[in-house]
Amino acid sequence: MLVHGSVTGGRPSWVSQRAGLRRRFELVVVERAGFPPNPPVEHVDFDDHAEQLASQLRPGDHLVGHSYGGVISLLAAARLGDRLGSLTVIEPPCTRVALGDAAADRFAEDGRRWWAEGPRDGLEAFLRGFLRYVGSTFDPPRPLPADLEQGARTLLVERGPWEAEIPLDDLATATYPKLVVSGAHHAAFDAICDVLERRLDAERLILPGYGHAPQLHPGFNDALTSFIDRASSSHDTRSAHGDRTNAK
């Protein structure tokens, strides 16, 4: 199950995975509320989206979340105990997990300031400032097409991910494998991913050169496939020893 972040919906966010993994896996591409083809919304809250996501997940599903979708995925996974097959998060901006790190703290404060003081009457200017803020290499076309305009308007009403309280202890006790992915381009994301790797006893994958979208790296799909294969084998082994079965 693939969960997108801010600005773009599921289909464009996971284009490389839809092309490269659909013959290997059953892919469920989540289209979050507020993003096309869904209608606009007045507010986006990561807790609400996590609750919705948790209700869609089935035992043994492999959950992959990018950016804001990574925050949602962490929160949804914590609601599910041991029922997932695996969890992969890609540069989630949950700065509180790295509270006290100078880069993460500055990233959170810059986000608060941009949402409070950014150009609300200039949608494209707000979007471009946000993309610079997260280290994205995406250069949106001018004028913004309708789907990106809606995504940018949804961005304006997202609850700041710096407010998210990630239940790291609950996630750490879950026995399914975890993978944390970063792109070696932003000190705050590096710090957040360092903490998640350590606290969740997660595997770590670093794919440089693609900014805030490491899933576009040509090595990502093979690495994710290998991780999921190993996660599935791990679940089979635990099942053979009488533990909870999470495989489909």
CA pair distance 94, 112, nearest whole angstrom: 13
* 119 in any annotated domain: yes
245 falls within a domain:
no
pLDDT bin (cut points 50, 70, 90) of residue 241 is: very low
Q: What is the pLDDT of residue 245?
A: 25
pLDDT beyond 50 at 85? yes
The pLDDT, as a whole number, for residue 111 is: 97
pLDDT reading at 213 higher than 90: yes
Separation of alpha carbons 238 and 232, rounded Å: 10
Q: How many domains does the chain have?
A: 1
Kindly indicate the confidence band of residue 236, based on its pLDDT and cuts at 50, 70 and 90: low
Pairing between β-strand 86-90 and β-strand 62-66 as defined by DSSP bridges? parallel
Short-list 152, 154, 139, 144, CA closest to 212: 139
CATH number at residue 39: 3.40.50.1820
Q: Give 235's pLDDT tier (boundaries 50, 70, 90).
A: low
Mean pLDDT, range 163-192, rounded to an integer: 98
Mutual angle of helices 187-199 and 102-117, in 10-degree steps: 120
CB 44 within 8 A of CB 53: no
Per-residue pLDDT at 62: 98
| Total-model pTM | 0.93
Q: Residues 49-74: pLDDT tens digits?
A: 999 999 999 999 999 999 999 999 99
Residue 48 lies in a domain: yes
Q: What's the CA gap between 132 and 216, in Å, rounded? A: 18
The predicted-structure confidence for 148-163, as pLDDT tens digits, reads as follows 999 999 999 999 999 9
Q: What pLDDT was estimated at residue 123? A: 93
Q: Above 80 in pLDDT, residue 220?
A: yes
> Could you tell me if residue 38 is inside a domain?
yes
Domain assignment present for residue 247? The answer is no
| Unique residue bearing structure tokens 């097959």 | 85
- pLDDT of 32 strictly over 70: yes
Is the Cβ–Cβ distance between 183 and 214 less than 8 Å? yes
How many alpha carbons lie under 13 Å from residue 97 in its C-beta half-sphere? 27
Residue 194 in domain? yes
Res 120: pLDDT: 81
Whole domain around residue 185: which residue ranges? 2-239
Residue 17 forms part of a structural domain? yes
Classify residue 246: in a domain, yes or no. no
* Mean model confidence pLDDT for the chain: 93
Portion of the chain with pLDDT greater than 70, in percent:
94
